[in-house]
Amino acid sequence: MQKIVTFSFDDGVTQDRKLISLLKKYGLKCTFNLNSKLLGSEGALSKIAPGDVKEVYAGFEVASHTCTHPLLTQCSPARIAEEVVGDYLRLSELVGYPVRGFAYPGGRPNCDRLVTEVLRVCTSLAYARTNISTYELSFPRDLLHWDPTLHILDPRIDELIDRFDAAKEDCLLYIWGHSFELDRSDGWNRAEAVFARIASLRGVTCMTNMEVCDWMKELRPRVYPAPVRKNA
């Protein structure tokens, strides 16, 4: 039996530094989804500078979130491909390894059938995450349409951790969010309580999103179906 927890945080904001300190405190892994053309921008949501990306996210997975965070459902197929491919190529240069993961900006409202098909045909992505909570502990059937379990500040999070702890079969707890959201509503204390509780559980493995994909691949075709991908 394998019980896996994975985390994913979006946008590459400067609050990620504080989040990473907490994750390291509890020995947890995480995937961070960045917009390469917005890095270094300042304002209400200040972003990590491009030159700091490799150092800040060392030991964690960096994944794509499009170059400029557009509404993909309103983009042409060519623009979708440009936003996604351009982003993971730029990020790969910054971190020094191939970026293979993705999170849809805006989640499923920004992820219709056309958008997903463009990713399937025109990119080399291994997975793509939405932001629609399943409240389940199951593994994704389509890695290019990967719904997480729930948001880090969801009021049901203790219930899901209880179910995860009690599970008697392979299961996945996928928690996502934005670190800037933790600045309000006692978010940092709530997040640390989640990290502390998960770190205290026995028989649990924390993985990055890409590590989950690789683990699933090792078990195919015995357990999990191969991802559906069309040839360009």
pLDDT band at 232 (very low <50, low <70, confident <90, very high): very low
Region 88-109: mean pLDDT is 94
> What torsion, rounded to 10 degrees, do the Cα atoms 93, 226, 206, 172 define?
140
Alpha helices in 72-224 (DSSP H): 77-95, 113-122, 157-166, 187-200, 209-219
- Structural domain total, the chain: 1
Is 59 among the domain residues?
yes
Is 51 among the domain residues?
yes
Residue 185, pLDDT score: 81
For residue 109, give every residue at least 6 positions away whose Cβ sits within 8 Å of its Cβ, in sequence order, or none: 73
The three-state (H, E, C) secondary structure of 72-102, written as one string: HHHCCHHHHHHHHHHHHHHHHHHHCCCCCCE
Amino acid identity, position 229: R
> What torsion, rounded to 10 degrees, do the Cα atoms 196, 211, 174, 199 define?
-10
Region 90-104: mean pLDDT is 98
Instruction: Note if the pTM is more than 0.85.
Output: yes
Is 232 among the domain residues?
no
Tokens of 59: 């030991």
CATH label of the domain that carries residue 180:
3.20.20.370
Residue 30, pLDDT score: 98
Cα separations (Å) of 175 from 30, 145, 223? Answer: 10, 16, 23
Is 228 among the domain residues?
no
pLDDT higher at 230 or 29? 29
Region 192-204: mean pLDDT is 98
Residue 13, pLDDT score: 98
pLDDT higher at 41 or 1? 41
Is 183 among the domain residues?
yes
Tokens of 179: 């670190």
- 211-229 tens-digit pLDDT: 999 999 887 555 555 555 5
Q: Which domain holds residue 185?
A: 3-219
Is the four-CA dihedral 140, 145, 147, 153 of positive or negative sign?
positive
